[in-house]
Amino acid sequence: MTIDKSKARIYLDYSSVTPVDERVLAFAQKFLTTALANPLGLHRSGQEAGMAIEEARLQVANLIHAEDPKSIVFTSGATEAINIAVRGTALRHKDKGRRIAVSAIEHISTFNSSKDLKKNGYELAVIPVDSTGLLLLDELRRRLTRETTVTSIMYANSEIGTVQPIFEISRIVHEQGMYLHVDATVAAGKIAIDVQKEEIDLLTLSSNELGGPQGAGALYIKPGVKVQPVSFGGGQERGLRSGTENLFAIAGMGEAARLAAAELGENQRLVRLRDELIEAISTIPGARLTGHPHHRLPNHVSFVFTGVEGESIILNLDAEYNIQAATGSACSARTLEPSHVLVAIGLEAEEAHSSLVMTLGRTTQQSELPYIINAVKQTVEKLRGLDWA
């Protein structure tokens, strides 16, 4: 097949940033102009801004089936929400124990929050995963104690797409330890989440992963769970996230959450596209699927290729074919170290540097698949043929 290099952009990096849904933008743009006000203002505009935030709180709560909208705390993004969840809960309950646990494939913000606690006298247990990225539940049971105040597990991983059995994990955590924090940043809107049925204590969300504006995130805190602030100010968001609220981003996140809940069935279309891409790319010599073949996000395709640098694949796809994808996590892309996620599932450092991650979304079309498949095949073939000496 002849590749048309003038083809319009094909965006396959939805797990890094999901483009803002035009319906969200149309809904929220008034909060940048005519409806802009401080939500704490006593005047009419301030009251309307406050109502907009409470409506967004309700929509986010509905997306994850939270029992009370007041259980949602808005933040500046997932990283801040994770810091509040992990550090805030651990510090609040330090009299009951100074142990925390995380999976070996957590996001770097979870690891760094945990490492900060470790520097201050906490014990850190890192729970291993198998070769597909699934948490080893027997190891989880073995490493938790009644002094483990916080256990943080990703609902799904952005690099390999593996979805964890959260209900089973929550049962183990509550039998052996105390509170479960779930990072649902890339899972929300892709798979159904019910914090009550799954017995989740704290859960992190991100606006820009839902198709909302950047600059907003949310933390669900189960009623009765006590969390200590990690920064201080005017007392907004139950005192856990002080500072004037980002009205535009929060209102947009609420609308994005409403749309995600209403359109959850759209992900069945993405499953079909995902499986077709996986089947075709698997035929490339030296290609290896990373993550679980079945228990994975509906929009997630990830491979490693022997003898090829992942960064070179990404740059060539972008320059030659106008296809934008990823290699590893965008939040740790500036480091030269191999992905800790790929190392955790058993890949050697050289293999870990050869990853390609393609995440699909609302704009991805069936008609684009032949172009994408051939672009990947030709890129890998070209790069393997180059003499780097």
List, by residue number, the catalytic residues.
331
DSSP state of 86: I
DSSP state of 8: P
Tokens of 353: 């540097």
Nearest one of 144, 135, 194, 142 to 168, comparing CA atoms:
135
Task: Tell me the C-alpha distance between 14 and 280, whole Å.
Answer: 21
∠ CA 177-181-184, rounded to 5°: 150
Please provide the distance, in angstroms rounded to a whole number, between the alpha carbons at the two ends of the chain.
Answer: 31
Q: How far is CA 312 from CA 165, 192, 287, 321, in A?
A: 34, 35, 15, 13
Q: How far is CA 320 from CA 10, 42, 109, 317, in A?
A: 12, 55, 33, 6
User: At how many degrees (to 10) do helices 369-385 and 310-321 cross?
Assistant: 120
Strand-pair category, 123-127 with 148-154: unpaired
Are 38 and 353 within 8 A, CB to CB? no
Q: What count of other Cβ atoms lies within 10 Å of the Cβ of residue 142?
A: 12
Distance of CA 316 to the CA centre of its chain: 26
Task: Tell me the C-alpha distance between 153 and 47, whole Å.
Answer: 38
Q: Is 356 helix (H, G, I), strand (E, B) or coil?
A: strand
